A = this chain, B = another copy of it.
């Protein structure tokens, strides 16, 4: 598969894929003419990269952790990294939950005001 097909199937831009290669997240074979060739498995790999990006990991961390995530093997150092990143994600989740609760509280209060006749006019 060439880069355009992979981009379409994985739902990312061609530019993003070249960027992933630049950052050593995604390798590619080259055709005699110099064009990138990917196996089907690259689609899942790109989705995995996207998932880790979505979790807020920088590309450097992803590059460090990807081999081990793919192979299911790890050195003690990598286990530490994994554990640290997991903890960071957990703490981010905590931040998000408290922010969401704050918004929910505000919404509930506003809706209550609404029903008790204050409508939306400031005093």
Contacts and interface: CB of A to CB of B under 8 A. Distances in A.
Contact of A82 (B57, B95, B106): B106
Interface in A67-90: 68-69, 71-76, 78-79, 82-83, 85-86, 89-90
A94 to B, nearest CB: 10
A42 B107 CA distance: 22
B68 A99 contact: no
A51 interface: yes
A113 interface: yes
A107 B83 contact: yes
27 contacts: A51-B98, A51-B102, A55-B96, A55-B99, A57-B99, A68-B106, A68-B110, A69-B103, A72-B106, A72-B113, A73-B113, A73-B120, A74-B106, A74-B107, A78-B110, A79-B111, A82-B103, A82-B107, A83-B107, A85-B103, A86-B103, A86-B104, A89-B96, A89-B100, A89-B103, A90-B100, A96-B96
